[in-house]
Protein backbone atom coordinates (compact mmCIF):
# COMPACT_ATOMS: atom_id res chain seq x y z
CA UNK A 1 0.00 0.00 0.00
CA UNK A 2 1.28 3.44 -0.91
CA UNK A 3 0.96 6.31 1.48
CA UNK A 4 1.47 9.84 0.19
CA UNK A 5 3.00 12.03 2.88
CA UNK A 6 2.71 15.74 2.13
CA UNK A 7 2.00 19.08 3.76
CA UNK A 8 -0.71 21.40 2.50
CA UNK A 9 0.08 25.05 3.16
CA UNK A 10 -2.68 27.63 2.80
CA UNK A 11 -1.11 30.40 4.88
CA UNK A 12 2.22 31.52 3.44
CA UNK A 13 3.08 33.05 6.84
CA UNK A 14 3.88 29.45 7.83
CA UNK A 15 6.80 29.50 5.39
CA UNK A 16 10.34 30.47 6.26
CA UNK A 17 11.92 33.41 4.44
CA UNK A 18 14.07 31.15 2.24
CA UNK A 19 10.96 29.21 1.18
CA UNK A 20 9.14 32.43 0.29
CA UNK A 21 12.16 33.58 -1.71
CA UNK A 22 12.37 30.29 -3.60
CA UNK A 23 8.68 30.45 -4.50
CA UNK A 24 9.01 34.09 -5.57
CA UNK A 25 11.88 33.11 -7.88
CA UNK A 26 9.78 30.33 -9.43
CA UNK A 27 6.99 32.85 -10.06
CA UNK A 28 9.44 35.29 -11.67
CA UNK A 29 10.73 32.47 -13.88
CA UNK A 30 7.29 32.33 -15.53
CA UNK A 31 8.31 35.43 -17.48
CA UNK A 32 10.94 33.43 -19.37
CA UNK A 33 8.47 30.80 -20.54
CA UNK A 34 8.25 30.22 -24.27
CA UNK A 35 4.81 28.66 -24.61
CA UNK A 36 3.13 29.96 -27.78
CA UNK A 37 1.39 26.62 -28.44
CA UNK A 38 -0.04 25.59 -25.07
CA UNK A 39 -0.24 29.07 -23.49
CA UNK A 40 0.60 27.23 -20.26
CA UNK A 41 3.61 28.77 -18.58
CA UNK A 42 5.64 26.97 -15.94
CA UNK A 43 8.39 28.37 -13.76
CA UNK A 44 10.74 26.46 -11.49
CA UNK A 45 13.39 27.42 -8.99
CA UNK A 46 16.02 25.12 -7.52
CA UNK A 47 17.73 26.03 -4.24
CA UNK A 48 21.15 24.49 -3.85
CA UNK A 49 22.74 23.79 -0.48
CA UNK A 50 25.29 26.56 -1.16
CA UNK A 51 22.41 29.09 -1.22
CA UNK A 52 22.36 29.56 -5.00
CA UNK A 53 18.95 29.63 -6.68
CA UNK A 54 18.72 28.46 -10.30
CA UNK A 55 15.53 29.17 -12.24
CA UNK A 56 14.03 27.71 -15.37
CA UNK A 57 10.89 27.98 -17.45
CA UNK A 58 9.17 25.72 -19.93
CA UNK A 59 10.43 26.03 -23.50
CA UNK A 60 8.13 24.77 -26.24
CA UNK A 61 9.09 24.09 -29.83
CA UNK A 62 7.13 23.79 -33.06
CA UNK A 63 8.86 20.44 -33.62
CA UNK A 64 6.94 18.84 -30.77
CA UNK A 65 8.10 17.19 -28.47
CA UNK A 66 11.42 19.03 -28.70
CA UNK A 67 10.54 21.40 -25.86
CA UNK A 68 11.58 21.05 -22.25
CA UNK A 69 9.79 21.47 -18.92
CA UNK A 70 10.75 24.21 -16.46
CA UNK A 71 11.87 21.73 -13.81
CA UNK A 72 14.34 20.02 -16.13
CA UNK A 73 15.65 23.33 -17.48
CA UNK A 74 16.48 24.42 -13.91
CA UNK A 75 17.78 21.03 -12.75
CA UNK A 76 20.01 20.47 -15.78
CA UNK A 77 21.51 23.95 -15.48
CA UNK A 78 22.11 23.43 -11.75
CA UNK A 79 23.74 20.07 -12.47
CA UNK A 80 25.94 21.53 -15.20
CA UNK A 81 26.98 24.67 -13.31
CA UNK A 82 27.23 23.17 -9.79
CA UNK A 83 27.76 19.42 -10.34
CA UNK A 84 28.74 18.56 -6.77
CA UNK A 85 26.32 20.77 -4.86
CA UNK A 86 23.25 18.96 -3.49
CA UNK A 87 19.76 20.35 -3.98
CA UNK A 88 17.90 21.64 -0.92
CA UNK A 89 14.51 22.37 -2.52
CA UNK A 90 12.63 22.88 -5.78
CA UNK A 91 9.55 25.05 -6.34
CA UNK A 92 7.26 24.85 -9.36
CA UNK A 93 4.40 27.15 -10.37
CA UNK A 94 2.18 27.31 -13.45
CA UNK A 95 -0.03 29.90 -15.09
CA UNK A 96 -2.44 30.22 -17.98
CA UNK A 97 -4.23 33.18 -19.56
CA UNK A 98 -6.03 33.81 -16.25
CA UNK A 99 -2.84 33.90 -14.16
CA UNK A 100 -1.25 31.50 -11.71
CA UNK A 101 -3.32 28.35 -11.29
CA UNK A 102 -5.31 28.12 -8.07
CA UNK A 103 -4.38 24.47 -7.59
CA UNK A 104 -0.73 23.47 -7.65
CA UNK A 105 0.55 21.56 -10.68
CA UNK A 106 2.59 18.43 -10.29
CA UNK A 107 5.77 17.68 -12.27
CA UNK A 108 5.39 15.33 -15.23
CA UNK A 109 6.81 11.81 -15.14
CA UNK A 110 9.98 12.72 -17.03
CA UNK A 111 10.68 15.56 -14.58
CA UNK A 112 10.01 13.27 -11.64
CA UNK A 113 12.56 10.80 -12.99
CA UNK A 114 15.18 13.54 -13.42
CA UNK A 115 14.40 14.88 -9.94
CA UNK A 116 14.85 11.38 -8.54
CA UNK A 117 18.19 10.88 -10.26
CA UNK A 118 19.57 14.14 -8.83
CA UNK A 119 18.41 13.05 -5.39
CA UNK A 120 20.10 9.65 -5.83
CA UNK A 121 23.34 11.29 -6.98
CA UNK A 122 23.51 13.53 -3.92
CA UNK A 123 22.29 10.84 -1.53
CA UNK A 124 20.03 13.39 0.16
CA UNK A 125 16.30 13.99 -0.13
CA UNK A 126 15.09 17.46 -1.02
CA UNK A 127 11.74 19.21 -0.75
CA UNK A 128 9.39 20.00 -3.62
CA UNK A 129 6.94 22.91 -3.40
CA UNK A 130 4.05 22.77 -5.87
CA UNK A 131 2.55 26.24 -5.79
CA UNK A 132 -0.95 27.47 -6.55
CA UNK A 133 -2.75 30.61 -5.45
CA UNK A 134 -5.09 28.60 -3.22
CA UNK A 135 -2.51 26.37 -1.59
CA UNK A 136 1.01 25.00 -1.71
CA UNK A 137 1.73 21.28 -1.56
CA UNK A 138 5.10 20.44 0.02
CA UNK A 139 6.69 17.05 -0.35
CA UNK A 140 9.90 16.32 1.55
CA UNK A 141 11.34 13.56 -0.63
CA UNK A 142 11.20 13.00 -4.40
CA UNK A 143 10.61 9.28 -3.81
CA UNK A 144 7.09 10.18 -2.71
CA UNK A 145 6.38 11.53 -6.22
CA UNK A 146 7.99 8.56 -7.96
CA UNK A 147 7.87 5.49 -5.71
CA UNK A 148 8.83 2.96 -8.41
CA UNK A 149 11.58 4.93 -10.10
CA UNK A 150 14.01 3.61 -12.66
CA UNK A 151 17.70 3.68 -11.81
CA UNK A 152 20.83 2.67 -13.58
CA UNK A 153 22.97 3.90 -10.70
CA UNK A 154 24.00 0.52 -9.31
CA UNK A 155 25.59 1.69 -6.06
CA UNK A 156 22.65 3.79 -4.83
CA UNK A 157 20.60 2.55 -1.92
CA UNK A 158 16.92 3.21 -2.65
CA UNK A 159 15.56 2.13 0.74
Measured between alpha carbons, how far apart are the two ends of the chain, in Å?
Answer: 16
Please report the pLDDT score of residue 155 as a whole number: 52
Strand duo 127-131 + 87-96: pairing: parallel
Q: Is 117 a catalytic residue?
A: no
Domains in the chain and their CATH numbers? Answer: 7-145 (3.40.140.10)
- For residues 3 and 103, the model is more confident at 103
Query: Does residue 150 have a pLDDT over 80?
Result: no
pLDDT digits (tens, 9 = 90+) for 12-68: 999 999 999 999 999 999 999 999 999 999 999 999 999 999 999 999 999 988 999
Q: What is the mean pLDDT of the chain?
A: 93
Burial class (CB in 10 A: 0-12, 13-18, 19+), 149: middle
pLDDT digits (tens, 9 = 90+) for 6-15: 999 999 999 9
> Which of 19, 60, 71, 117 does the annotation list as catalytic?
71
- What is the average pLDDT across 128-138? 98
Amino acid sequence: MLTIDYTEIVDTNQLQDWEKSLIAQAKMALEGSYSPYSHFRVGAAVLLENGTIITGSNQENGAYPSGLCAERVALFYAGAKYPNVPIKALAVVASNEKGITSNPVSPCGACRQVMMEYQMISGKPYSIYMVGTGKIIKIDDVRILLPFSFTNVSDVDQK
